[in-house]
A = this chain, B = another copy of it.
Amino acid sequence: MIEFWYEFASTYSYPAAMRVERLAEAAGVRVEWRPFLLGPLFHAQQGLTDSPFNAFPVKGRYMWRDMERVCAEEGLPLNHPSQFPRNGLLAARVAIAGLDDGWTPDFSRKVYEANFVADQDISDPGVLAPLIAEAGGAPDEALEAAQSEPVKARLKDHVSLAKARGVFGSPSFITADGELFWGNDRLEQALAWALHHAKATA
């Protein structure tokens, strides 16, 4: 088992979301999708009120160039969004609402494509509704659930849990024995760890 912790505004989480199921399946490892919010962690841990890629332009320039290379290597389309970072709160709540019905992975991939390929505003319920439907969910129901106290509380729990586990960026992967791996480029190592070190508890 591997937990995939992801924030919808996060750039490197896009290629991670697109490839995590494929690589995990090939390795025989189950994936638990864990949508969370990175903003509260950035603020609490580093005093940031914006993406570090905006706060530190030299890192932002590198990241966008590196994303081009990473996506080209993976055969994934990429269009620099006209707004960055986009607010992923509503999408994260919808993703939480879909967890028990199983459409969260499909929905999440579609949200990343909306943000980083179609350049759509993922904080807009009108953008999310068709993505929910395509993923197999009921849009009206899911968007209503996203505003309910239990779903809001569950997302807050995810954020608290991420913080408690030492997460500070997205994507992050955590194996059954609590080992943390940060970054799309650590997915392979995380899966190898899950196979070789955490098998007993998987």
Contacts and interface: CB of A to CB of B under 8 A. Distances in A.
Given A69-B189, A180-B65, A189-B69, A168 B59 contact: yes
A166 interface: yes
Given A62-B180, A65-B180, A56 B189 contact: no
A181 B168 CA distance: 22
A201 interface: no
A62 B189 contact: no
Contacts of A45: 56, 58-59
Contacts of A189: 69
B185 A62 contact: no
A185 B185 contact: yes
A61 interface: yes
B56 A168 contact: yes
Given A69-B189, A185-B185, A189-B69, A166 B46 contact: no
A54 to B, nearest CB: 12
A60 to B, nearest CB: 10
A61 B164 CA distance: 13
Contacts of A181: 66
A101 B61 CA distance: 36
A168 B65 contact: no
Interface string A138-170: 000000000000000000000000000010100
Contacts of A66: 181-182
Given A45-B56, A46-B56, 6 more contacts: A45-B58, A56-B168, A58-B166, A61-B166, A62-B182, A65-B180
20 contacts: A45-B56, A45-B58, A45-B59, A46-B56, A46-B59, A56-B168, A58-B166, A58-B168, A59-B168, A61-B166, A62-B166, A62-B168, A62-B180, A62-B182, A65-B180, A66-B181, A66-B182, A69-B189, A185-B185, A185-B186
